[in-house]
Structure 1
Amino acid sequence: MQKWLIVYSSNTGNTEQIAKAMFQVLGSEAADIYLIKEAPAVEQLPQYDIIAVGYWLTRGAPDKAVQQWLHNLSGKRVVLFQTHGTDKYSEHSVTAFARAASCLGDNCEVLGTFGCQGRINPVLLNKRLTLSADDPHAPTERNKKRWAMAAQHPDTTDLAEARQFIAAIQRKLILREKYQNTQQ
Protein backbone atom coordinates (compact mmCIF):
# COMPACT_ATOMS: atom_id res chain seq x y z
CA MET A 1 0.00 0.00 0.00
CA GLN A 2 1.21 3.47 -0.90
CA LYS A 3 1.59 5.89 2.02
CA TRP A 4 0.31 9.42 1.37
CA LEU A 5 1.02 12.68 3.12
CA ILE A 6 -1.41 15.57 2.69
CA VAL A 7 0.02 18.94 3.70
CA TYR A 8 -1.96 22.12 3.25
CA SER A 9 -2.10 25.79 4.03
CA SER A 10 -5.49 27.45 4.41
CA ASN A 11 -6.26 31.13 4.83
CA THR A 12 -10.07 31.10 4.80
CA GLY A 13 -10.82 27.37 5.19
CA ASN A 14 -11.18 26.65 1.45
CA THR A 15 -8.01 24.59 1.05
CA GLU A 16 -8.66 22.80 4.32
CA GLN A 17 -12.04 21.60 3.03
CA ILE A 18 -10.45 20.23 -0.15
CA ALA A 19 -7.63 18.55 1.82
CA LYS A 20 -10.11 16.86 4.14
CA ALA A 21 -12.23 15.67 1.19
CA MET A 22 -9.13 14.07 -0.34
CA PHE A 23 -8.20 12.52 2.99
CA GLN A 24 -11.66 10.91 3.20
CA VAL A 25 -10.85 8.91 0.08
CA LEU A 26 -7.43 7.81 1.26
CA GLY A 27 -8.33 7.11 4.88
CA SER A 28 -6.14 7.17 7.96
CA GLU A 29 -4.58 3.79 7.14
CA ALA A 30 -3.07 5.11 3.91
CA ALA A 31 -2.57 8.80 4.67
CA ASP A 32 -1.59 11.42 7.17
CA ILE A 33 -2.85 15.00 7.00
CA TYR A 34 -1.25 18.13 8.45
CA LEU A 35 -1.45 21.87 8.30
CA ILE A 36 1.77 23.17 6.75
CA LYS A 37 2.97 24.59 10.07
CA GLU A 38 2.62 21.14 11.67
CA ALA A 39 4.01 19.14 8.74
CA PRO A 40 6.62 16.45 9.35
CA ALA A 41 10.27 17.42 9.13
CA VAL A 42 12.21 16.62 5.98
CA GLU A 43 13.86 13.70 7.77
CA GLN A 44 10.43 12.05 8.17
CA LEU A 45 9.40 12.37 4.53
CA PRO A 46 11.02 9.13 3.27
CA GLN A 47 8.15 7.16 4.83
CA TYR A 48 5.72 8.75 2.33
CA ASP A 49 5.36 7.58 -1.26
CA ILE A 50 3.13 10.43 -2.45
CA ILE A 51 2.84 13.93 -1.08
CA ALA A 52 -0.23 16.05 -1.81
CA VAL A 53 0.38 19.74 -1.18
CA GLY A 54 -2.49 22.22 -0.99
CA TYR A 55 -2.31 25.98 -0.87
CA TRP A 56 -4.14 29.22 -1.45
CA LEU A 57 -2.93 31.68 -4.04
CA THR A 58 -1.34 35.00 -3.33
CA ARG A 59 -0.14 37.11 -6.24
CA GLY A 60 -0.53 34.17 -8.60
CA ALA A 61 1.57 31.72 -6.61
CA PRO A 62 1.31 29.47 -3.56
CA ASP A 63 1.50 31.24 -0.23
CA LYS A 64 5.03 31.74 1.13
CA ALA A 65 4.86 28.92 3.70
CA VAL A 66 4.04 26.38 1.00
CA GLN A 67 6.66 27.77 -1.39
CA GLN A 68 9.33 27.27 1.27
CA TRP A 69 8.06 23.79 2.13
CA LEU A 70 8.02 22.69 -1.52
CA HIS A 71 11.73 23.54 -1.79
CA ASN A 72 12.40 20.84 0.83
CA LEU A 73 10.95 18.07 -1.32
CA SER A 74 13.38 15.99 -3.30
CA GLY A 75 12.77 12.85 -5.35
CA LYS A 76 9.09 12.73 -4.43
CA ARG A 77 5.88 12.04 -6.32
CA VAL A 78 3.71 15.07 -5.74
CA VAL A 79 0.09 16.09 -6.20
CA LEU A 80 -0.61 19.83 -6.17
CA PHE A 81 -3.98 21.31 -5.26
CA GLN A 82 -4.98 24.93 -4.90
CA THR A 83 -7.89 27.19 -4.10
CA HIS A 84 -8.30 30.65 -5.55
CA GLY A 85 -10.84 33.38 -6.16
CA THR A 86 -10.47 33.28 -9.92
CA ASP A 87 -12.20 31.09 -12.49
CA LYS A 88 -11.23 27.43 -12.25
CA TYR A 89 -9.55 27.19 -15.67
CA SER A 90 -8.30 30.76 -15.96
CA GLU A 91 -4.79 31.56 -17.10
CA HIS A 92 -4.12 32.83 -13.58
CA SER A 93 -4.93 29.48 -11.96
CA VAL A 94 -3.10 27.41 -14.58
CA THR A 95 0.03 29.56 -14.31
CA ALA A 96 -0.09 29.20 -10.52
CA PHE A 97 0.40 25.44 -10.89
CA ALA A 98 3.55 26.09 -12.92
CA ARG A 99 4.79 28.47 -10.24
CA ALA A 100 4.15 25.87 -7.55
CA ALA A 101 5.95 23.18 -9.54
CA SER A 102 8.93 25.50 -10.01
CA CYS A 103 9.29 25.63 -6.20
CA LEU A 104 9.79 21.86 -5.95
CA GLY A 105 13.19 20.47 -5.06
CA ASP A 106 15.18 18.19 -7.34
CA ASN A 107 13.77 15.12 -9.07
CA CYS A 108 10.14 15.53 -8.07
CA GLU A 109 7.38 14.21 -10.29
CA VAL A 110 4.01 15.98 -10.40
CA LEU A 111 1.34 13.27 -10.68
CA GLY A 112 -1.58 15.65 -11.06
CA THR A 113 -3.12 18.99 -10.21
CA PHE A 114 -6.49 20.03 -8.82
CA GLY A 115 -7.83 23.57 -8.63
CA CYS A 116 -10.93 24.89 -6.98
CA GLN A 117 -12.49 28.30 -6.76
CA GLY A 118 -12.96 29.54 -3.20
CA ARG A 119 -14.02 32.44 -1.06
CA ILE A 120 -11.67 35.38 -1.05
CA ASN A 121 -10.44 36.57 2.33
CA PRO A 122 -12.89 39.33 3.42
CA VAL A 123 -10.03 41.62 4.49
CA LEU A 124 -8.49 41.37 1.01
CA LEU A 125 -11.86 41.85 -0.62
CA ASN A 126 -12.47 45.05 1.36
CA LYS A 127 -9.08 46.39 0.22
CA ARG A 128 -9.99 45.63 -3.39
CA LEU A 129 -13.14 47.71 -3.08
CA THR A 130 -10.95 50.81 -2.70
CA LEU A 131 -8.66 50.18 -5.69
CA SER A 132 -8.60 52.53 -8.66
CA ALA A 133 -10.15 51.47 -11.96
CA ASP A 134 -6.77 50.85 -13.62
CA ASP A 135 -5.88 48.10 -11.11
CA PRO A 136 -6.69 44.57 -12.36
CA HIS A 137 -8.28 43.78 -8.96
CA ALA A 138 -10.49 46.90 -8.96
CA PRO A 139 -14.19 46.48 -8.18
CA THR A 140 -15.32 46.27 -11.81
CA GLU A 141 -18.63 44.60 -12.62
CA ARG A 142 -16.73 41.60 -13.98
CA ASN A 143 -14.66 41.27 -10.79
CA LYS A 144 -17.68 41.74 -8.53
CA LYS A 145 -19.46 38.95 -10.40
CA ARG A 146 -16.40 36.68 -10.01
CA TRP A 147 -16.13 37.50 -6.31
CA ALA A 148 -19.78 36.61 -5.80
CA MET A 149 -19.25 33.29 -7.59
CA ALA A 150 -16.11 32.56 -5.57
CA ALA A 151 -18.02 33.18 -2.33
CA GLN A 152 -20.14 30.10 -3.11
CA HIS A 153 -17.14 27.75 -3.21
CA PRO A 154 -15.97 25.23 -2.36
CA ASP A 155 -19.38 23.64 -2.62
CA THR A 156 -20.52 20.02 -2.50
CA THR A 157 -19.68 19.57 -6.19
CA ASP A 158 -16.13 20.85 -5.64
CA LEU A 159 -15.64 18.49 -2.71
CA ALA A 160 -16.97 15.56 -4.75
CA GLU A 161 -14.60 16.49 -7.59
CA ALA A 162 -11.67 16.57 -5.13
CA ARG A 163 -12.57 13.07 -3.93
CA GLN A 164 -12.89 11.84 -7.54
CA PHE A 165 -9.56 13.41 -8.42
CA ILE A 166 -7.70 11.56 -5.64
CA ALA A 167 -9.43 8.29 -6.56
CA ALA A 168 -8.33 8.81 -10.17
CA ILE A 169 -4.73 9.41 -9.08
CA GLN A 170 -4.87 6.18 -7.07
CA ARG A 171 -6.14 4.27 -10.13
CA LYS A 172 -3.47 5.89 -12.29
CA LEU A 173 -0.75 4.70 -9.91
CA ILE A 174 -2.10 1.14 -9.83
CA LEU A 175 -2.25 1.00 -13.64
CA ARG A 176 1.24 2.48 -13.94
CA GLU A 177 2.62 -0.15 -11.55
CA LYS A 178 0.91 -2.97 -13.49
CA TYR A 179 2.31 -1.63 -16.76
CA GLN A 180 5.81 -1.33 -15.34
CA ASN A 181 5.65 -4.90 -14.01
CA THR A 182 4.74 -6.21 -17.48
CA GLN A 183 7.70 -4.36 -19.02
CA GLN A 184 10.30 -6.07 -16.82
Structure 2
Amino acid sequence: MKVKVIYCSHTGNTVQVAKAIAEGLPVTSVLQKLQAGFSDEDARIDEDDLIFAGFWVDKGSCPEEMAELLRGVHHRKIALFATAGFGQDPAYFAQIEQRVRALIPDSNRYMGAFFCQGKMQISVRHRYEEIQKQNPEDLKIKQSIENFDLASTHPDDQDLNHAKKFAKEVYQAALDK
Protein backbone atom coordinates (compact mmCIF):
# COMPACT_ATOMS: atom_id res chain seq x y z
CA MET A 1 0.00 0.00 0.00
CA LYS A 2 1.37 3.41 -0.97
CA VAL A 3 1.03 6.00 1.80
CA LYS A 4 1.56 9.75 1.73
CA VAL A 5 1.63 12.16 4.66
CA ILE A 6 0.80 15.63 3.34
CA TYR A 7 0.77 18.58 5.71
CA CYS A 8 0.73 22.34 5.99
CA SER A 9 2.34 23.84 9.07
CA HIS A 10 2.25 27.47 10.14
CA THR A 11 4.38 27.40 13.31
CA GLY A 12 6.04 23.96 13.17
CA ASN A 13 3.52 22.08 15.32
CA THR A 14 1.89 20.17 12.48
CA VAL A 15 5.19 19.12 10.92
CA GLN A 16 6.12 17.50 14.26
CA VAL A 17 2.89 15.50 14.18
CA ALA A 18 3.39 14.66 10.48
CA LYS A 19 6.83 13.22 11.23
CA ALA A 20 5.41 11.20 14.14
CA ILE A 21 2.69 9.79 11.88
CA ALA A 22 5.27 8.84 9.26
CA GLU A 23 7.38 7.18 11.97
CA GLY A 24 4.35 5.29 13.28
CA LEU A 25 3.57 3.67 9.96
CA PRO A 26 4.81 0.11 9.42
CA VAL A 27 5.73 1.00 5.83
CA THR A 28 7.79 3.73 4.25
CA SER A 29 5.69 6.75 3.44
CA VAL A 30 6.28 9.98 1.57
CA LEU A 31 6.25 13.09 3.77
CA GLN A 32 5.28 16.14 1.73
CA LYS A 33 4.76 19.78 2.71
CA LEU A 34 1.75 21.53 1.24
CA GLN A 35 2.29 25.18 0.33
CA ALA A 36 0.34 27.94 -1.39
CA GLY A 37 0.26 27.27 -5.10
CA PHE A 38 0.63 23.52 -4.53
CA SER A 39 -1.26 21.52 -7.15
CA ASP A 40 -2.70 18.03 -7.32
CA GLU A 41 0.05 17.25 -9.83
CA ASP A 42 2.67 18.28 -7.27
CA ALA A 43 1.14 15.92 -4.71
CA ARG A 44 0.83 13.01 -7.16
CA ILE A 45 -1.96 11.72 -4.96
CA ASP A 46 -3.26 9.50 -7.76
CA GLU A 47 -0.42 7.10 -6.93
CA ASP A 48 -1.32 6.71 -3.24
CA ASP A 49 -3.78 4.37 -1.56
CA LEU A 50 -3.81 6.07 1.85
CA ILE A 51 -3.36 9.77 2.49
CA PHE A 52 -2.82 11.38 5.88
CA ALA A 53 -3.73 15.06 5.45
CA GLY A 54 -2.50 17.37 8.21
CA PHE A 55 -3.07 21.02 8.93
CA TRP A 56 -3.03 23.76 11.53
CA VAL A 57 -6.46 24.94 12.55
CA ASP A 58 -7.28 28.22 10.84
CA LYS A 59 -10.47 29.93 12.03
CA GLY A 60 -12.10 26.64 12.97
CA SER A 61 -11.16 24.76 9.79
CA CYS A 62 -8.16 23.93 7.63
CA PRO A 63 -6.18 26.45 5.55
CA GLU A 64 -7.47 27.01 2.02
CA GLU A 65 -4.58 25.15 0.36
CA MET A 66 -5.53 21.99 2.31
CA ALA A 67 -9.22 22.51 1.53
CA GLU A 68 -8.39 22.70 -2.20
CA LEU A 69 -6.30 19.55 -2.02
CA LEU A 70 -8.98 17.59 -0.14
CA ARG A 71 -11.70 18.64 -2.60
CA GLY A 72 -9.58 17.22 -5.43
CA VAL A 73 -8.89 13.78 -3.95
CA HIS A 74 -10.96 10.86 -5.29
CA HIS A 75 -11.05 7.11 -4.66
CA ARG A 76 -8.52 7.14 -1.82
CA LYS A 77 -8.48 6.40 1.87
CA ILE A 78 -8.02 9.64 3.82
CA ALA A 79 -7.18 10.32 7.45
CA LEU A 80 -6.93 13.82 8.91
CA PHE A 81 -4.62 15.19 11.58
CA ALA A 82 -4.34 18.69 12.97
CA THR A 83 -2.95 20.95 15.66
CA ALA A 84 -4.85 23.78 17.32
CA GLY A 85 -3.95 26.39 19.90
CA PHE A 86 -7.17 25.65 21.76
CA GLY A 87 -7.00 21.96 22.47
CA GLN A 88 -8.67 21.06 25.72
CA ASP A 89 -12.19 20.59 24.39
CA PRO A 90 -12.98 17.40 22.42
CA ALA A 91 -16.20 19.03 21.19
CA TYR A 92 -14.12 21.80 19.55
CA PHE A 93 -12.02 19.19 17.74
CA ALA A 94 -15.16 17.33 16.67
CA GLN A 95 -16.56 20.51 15.08
CA ILE A 96 -13.33 21.07 13.16
CA GLU A 97 -13.27 17.45 12.04
CA GLN A 98 -16.86 17.71 10.82
CA ARG A 99 -16.14 20.90 8.83
CA VAL A 100 -13.01 19.52 7.18
CA ARG A 101 -14.46 16.07 6.58
CA ALA A 102 -17.29 17.73 4.64
CA LEU A 103 -14.67 18.90 2.10
CA ILE A 104 -13.70 15.33 1.21
CA PRO A 105 -15.63 13.95 -1.79
CA ASP A 106 -17.84 10.92 -1.13
CA SER A 107 -15.79 8.74 -3.50
CA ASN A 108 -13.13 8.53 -0.77
CA ARG A 109 -13.11 6.38 2.34
CA TYR A 110 -12.71 8.48 5.47
CA MET A 111 -10.43 6.80 8.02
CA GLY A 112 -10.69 9.14 11.03
CA ALA A 113 -8.84 12.05 12.58
CA PHE A 114 -6.20 12.88 15.16
CA PHE A 115 -6.09 16.29 16.83
CA CYS A 116 -3.79 17.72 19.46
CA GLN A 117 -2.98 21.06 20.95
CA GLY A 118 -0.09 23.10 19.58
CA LYS A 119 1.82 26.10 20.79
CA MET A 120 0.89 29.53 19.49
CA GLN A 121 3.06 32.47 18.50
CA ILE A 122 4.01 34.80 21.36
CA SER A 123 2.24 37.65 19.58
CA VAL A 124 -1.04 35.94 20.49
CA ARG A 125 -0.20 36.13 24.20
CA HIS A 126 0.80 39.77 23.86
CA ARG A 127 -2.54 40.51 22.23
CA TYR A 128 -4.35 38.76 25.10
CA GLU A 129 -2.34 40.76 27.64
CA GLU A 130 -3.31 44.03 25.97
CA ILE A 131 -6.96 43.04 26.07
CA GLN A 132 -6.59 42.09 29.72
CA LYS A 133 -5.16 45.51 30.54
CA GLN A 134 -8.34 47.06 29.16
CA ASN A 135 -10.62 44.54 30.91
CA PRO A 136 -8.83 43.12 33.98
CA GLU A 137 -11.94 41.29 35.23
CA ASP A 138 -12.66 39.51 31.93
CA LEU A 139 -12.65 35.79 32.78
CA LYS A 140 -12.64 34.73 29.12
CA ILE A 141 -9.38 36.55 28.41
CA LYS A 142 -7.87 35.14 31.61
CA GLN A 143 -8.79 31.63 30.39
CA SER A 144 -7.27 32.44 26.99
CA ILE A 145 -3.96 33.38 28.64
CA GLU A 146 -4.04 30.20 30.74
CA ASN A 147 -4.73 28.15 27.60
CA PHE A 148 -1.87 29.89 25.80
CA ASP A 149 0.51 28.91 28.60
CA LEU A 150 -0.77 25.33 28.60
CA ALA A 151 -0.42 25.10 24.82
CA SER A 152 3.21 26.25 24.97
CA THR A 153 4.39 22.69 25.72
CA HIS A 154 2.49 21.02 22.87
CA PRO A 155 2.74 18.95 20.87
CA ASP A 156 4.54 16.99 23.57
CA ASP A 157 5.89 13.44 23.65
CA GLN A 158 2.50 12.06 24.67
CA ASP A 159 0.82 13.83 21.74
CA LEU A 160 3.41 12.47 19.32
CA ASN A 161 3.09 8.94 20.69
CA HIS A 162 -0.69 9.15 20.27
CA ALA A 163 -0.13 10.31 16.66
CA LYS A 164 2.07 7.27 15.98
CA LYS A 165 -0.56 4.97 17.46
CA PHE A 166 -3.25 6.65 15.34
CA ALA A 167 -1.15 6.08 12.20
CA LYS A 168 -0.69 2.37 12.96
CA GLU A 169 -4.40 1.90 13.65
CA VAL A 170 -5.47 3.71 10.48
CA TYR A 171 -2.97 1.77 8.39
CA GLN A 172 -4.21 -1.54 9.79
CA ALA A 173 -7.84 -0.56 9.22
CA ALA A 174 -6.99 0.42 5.63
CA LEU A 175 -5.53 -3.05 5.07
CA ASP A 176 -8.47 -4.82 6.67
CA LYS A 177 -11.14 -3.28 4.43
Q: Shorter-normalised TM-score: what interval?
A: 0.7 to 0.9
Match of 2:159 in 1: 158
1:116 partner SS? strand
C-alpha deviation, 1:139, in angstroms: 6.3
Does residue 168 of structure 1 match 2:169?
yes
Give the secondary structure class of the aligned counterpart of 1:55.
strand
In 2, the alpha carbon distance for the partners of 1:93 and 1:131 equals 26
More displaced 10-residue stretch of structure 1: 37-46 or 165-174: 37-46
C-alpha displacement at 1:46, in angstroms? Answer: 2.0
Structure 2's unaligned 5+ residue stretches are: none
Could you list the per-position Cα deviations for residues 151-175 of structure 1 after superposition, in whole angstroms to 9, with x for gaps in the alignment? 110011111111111111122233x
Residue 19 in 1 paired to residue 15 in 2? no
User: Displacement, 1:104?
Assistant: 1.6
Please name the residue that 1:33 is paired with: 31
Give the aligned CA root-mean-square deviation in angstroms. Answer: 2.5
- Identity rate, percent: 22
Partner of 1:4: 3
1:82 aligns to what SS in structure 2? strand
- On the 8 A contact 1:88/1:115 being kept in 2, the answer is no
Asked which structure has the greater RCO (Cα within 8 Å, sep 6+), the reply is: 2
Corresponding letter in the other structure for 2:169: A
Change beyond 3 A, Cα 1:48–1:115: same
Gaps of 5+ in 1: 178-184
Alignment-derived partner of residue 66 in structure 2: 66
Q: What do residues 58-108 of structure 1 show as CA deviations (whole Å, max 9, x unaligned)? A: 110011221121111122210000100112443222111111111223412
Q: Is the 8 A contact 1:114 1:162 kept in 2?
A: yes
Task: Kindly provide the amino acid, as one letter, of the partner of residue 31 in structure 1.
Answer: S
Provide TM-score, normalisation by structure 1: 0.82
Is 1:99 aligned with 2:137?
no
Query: How far apart are the structure 2 equivalents of 1:123 and 1:108?
Result: 39
Contact map agreement 1:5 1:52 (CA 8 A) in 2: yes
Cα pair 1:21 1:159 within 8 Å, conserved: yes
Letter in 2 for 1:56: W
* Contact preservation (8 Å) 1:8, 1:55: yes
* Shift in CA distance, 50/105, structure 1 to aligned 2, threshold 3 Å: same
1:39 deviates by 6.9
CA contact (8 A) 1:11 1:121 kept: no
Task: Tell me the secondary structure at the aligned position of residue 161 of structure 2.
Answer: helix
Residue type of the partner of 1:49? D
Cα 1:69–1:158 change in 2 (3 A) is same
User: For residues 174 and 113 of structure 2, what CA distance do their matches in structure 1 show?
Assistant: 14
Cα distance in 1 for partners of 2:65, 2:32 equals: 13
> Judging changes above 3 Å, is the alpha-carbon distance between structure 1 residues 75 and 130 closer, same or farther for their aligned structure 2 residues?
farther
